[in-house]
Chains A and B, each alone.
Chain A
Amino acid sequence: DAGVIQSPRHEVTEMGQEVTLRCKPISGHDYLFWYRQTMMRGLELLIYFNNNVPIDDSGMPEDRFSAKMPNASFSTLKIQPSEPRDSAVYFCASSFLAGGTSEQFFGPGTRLTVL
């Protein structure tokens, strides 16, 4: 069974450009999470969805960030306009609510560099 799929794997862009990151969760999973990892701040939650509905976006740093989940198999994280401080690895993870567990499975990540 395929794991979480993310694209692109690497993105290099210039300040001010729009960046769109994509994620396909594991089939059948009903939760989807977006995380960002930096050396300074570690792994931090940006937003998560349950059944395609955003549940908690308190980690989204500012209005430049937006996320959507139009269907159960696809989600996007958009940054517009991008800034150098957005440079990080962005991970998507998914989980399935079974027996009350919260085990999350991560995709390979997108390494974003904003020049």
Chain B
Amino acid sequence: QKEVEQNSGPLSVPEGAIASLNCTYSDRVSQSFFWYRQYSGKSPELIMSIYSNGDKEDGRFTAQLNKASQYVSLLIRDSQPSDSATYLCAVNESPGRRALTFGSGTRLQVQP
């Protein structure tokens, strides 16, 4: 069974610190990787996508992908209380199938 695994948390970091969120996936042929942020009672919001090994930076967010280790992570620099949310890792397992498989999410708490 194809799986996307995340630590449920909560991950608690002080304001201004770096938050590191991790995700592993089981299907080696996975092609595309996404991070969604979901505030309580709201819908998932796409914040990062990454398709090739290495780092991708967008503002305070950096996504890291290591296909050999089947590992993808999200770093949030200068964490703010407004970053407190659940972060969902999502994987597109093959280019022919557009659906995403989601992890259960990591809850991040940024302490002021």
Which A residues are closer than 8 A to B by beta carbons?
31, 33, 42-45, 48, 50, 55-56, 91, 95, 97, 100-109
Contact = CB atoms under 8 A, between A and B. Distances in A.
Decide if the interface of chain A is mainly helix, strand, loop or mixed: strand
Contacts of B26: none
B44 A91 contact: yes
B102 interface: yes
Given A101-B32, A109-B43, A43 B95 contact: no
Contact of B88 (A43, A103, A105, A107): A43
B46 A104 contact: yes
11 contacts: A45-B100, A48-B98, A100-B95, A101-B32, A101-B51, A102-B92, A102-B98, A102-B100, A103-B34, A104-B46, A104-B100
Given A56-B97, A101-B32, A102-B32, A108 B102 contact: no
Contacts, number: 49
B29 interface: no
A106 B44 CA distance: 6
> Which are the 4 A-B pairs with shortest beta-carbon distances?
A106-B43, A102-B92, A43-B102, A42-B104
B42 interface: yes
Nearest to B33: A102
A105 B46 contact: yes
A103 B46 CA distance: 8
A46 to B, nearest CB: 10
Given A33-B99, A103-B49, A108 B43 contact: yes
Contacts of B103: 42
B101 to A, nearest CB: 8
Interface in B57-112: 88, 92, 95, 97-105
A102 B100 CA distance: 8
A50 B97 CA distance: 11
Given A43-B44, A101-B49, A109-B43, A31 B98 contact: yes
